[in-house]
Copies of this chain bind each other. A is one copy, B any other.
Amino acid sequence: MTSILIIGGGGMIGQKLAASFGKNEKVSLLDVAFPEKSDLNATRIYGSIRDAKIMEKMLNSLPKTIFFLASVVSGEAEENFLKGWDVNVQAFWGFLNNIKKLHVQSEGQYKPKVIFTSSIAVFGSPFPEKIPDNFLSAPRTSYGAQKVCCELMLNDFIRKGFCEGLAIRLPTICVRPGKPNLAASSFFSGIIREPLNGLKANLPVSTDVRHWHASPRSAVGFLRHAESLKQGVLTFNSAINMPGLSCTVEEQIEALRALAGNDVVNLIKFKPDEKIIEIVKGWPQNFDTQKAEILGFKAEKSFEEIIQIFIEDELKTNVYKN
């Protein structure tokens, strides 16, 4: 029986990832909160990654694969400077040190695979039309800077042989089910999700804003594929841009119109928000993800496909339904 630990397992991606495992896999989830209802075949452990004792206990069962998804989101990291650095970097550093301790104690026998979710927020403008795989990580947000630090730390632990793993830089995940969150990117999901649920949605930026998306289903696919890769196929730099779909807000809206009609689209109201407009200006718009594609990572090819996945996975079945 393979043992899997999902740190941040109570979140949207964590729950979907847990659901992707079969009955032969022993899945443990660590988080500060979980959805009320769940029929997941997984052990829930309530606790924070800032709690050294909990973290030590979680690792003492020597999970073979550890997905590290826990993070303070971008908006909150920007508002609460110290909390962001503390949770997003210091807790990850403590986690890696625990792994190293167990690796050394076991005389090198314990060498788990650590899959860390990084983000395209590691990049800061100015950007080329398509961001290549070897583009400079010069973030313009605390969240982005924190993610790069974690990538560098993980990479050094891997290089030293204390663990295996990689950092995958997720596109903006869209359409997120559930409620809006504190991420400045929340509206990209909101303008699709709310209207499909018969609710009004605010659009805080103009429709020519271009951005980089992948569905929650793709995100889970990336994580599972990352787990399946042999360390040898990776180069010395274990942080990889994930594939995604580049489209404008207008293209998002037109895809919604094609699938759900004018009445649904009319629920979107343009309500400019200068703060969000400013943040989004500094965000990546498009990528050339050759490396990830060669390694076999796959994402959607159209925004219709992304909406279709939301309809199938959320509107019809999911506990996150509004």
Contacts and interface: CB of A to CB of B under 8 A. Distances in A.
Interface of A: 81-82, 85, 93, 97, 100, 124, 134-140, 142, 145, 148-149, 152-153, 155-156, 159-160, 236-237
Copy number in the complex reads: 2
Most chain B beta-carbon contacts within 10 A, residue among A142, A148, A152: A152
Contact of A142 (B136, B149, B156): B156
A139 to B, nearest CB: 7
25 contacts: A81-B160, A82-B97, A85-B153, A85-B156, A124-B236, A124-B237, A134-B136, A134-B138, A135-B136, A136-B137, A137-B137, A138-B236, A138-B237, A139-B152, A142-B156, A142-B160, A145-B152, A145-B153, A145-B155, A145-B156, A148-B148, A148-B152, A149-B149, A149-B152, A149-B153
A153 B139 CA distance: 11
A148 B138 CA distance: 10
Contacts of A138: 134, 236-237
Q: Is the interface of A mostly helix, strand, loop or mixed?
A: helix
Most chain B beta-carbon contacts within 10 A, residue among A85, A124, A149: A149
Nearest to A236: B140
Contacts of A139: 152
Contacts of A82: 97
A220 B237 CA distance: 33
Nearest to A237: B138
Contacts of A149: 149, 152-153
A12 to B, nearest CB: 27
Contacts of A136: 134-137
A99 to B, nearest CB: 13
A81 B162 CA distance: 11
A95 to B, nearest CB: 14
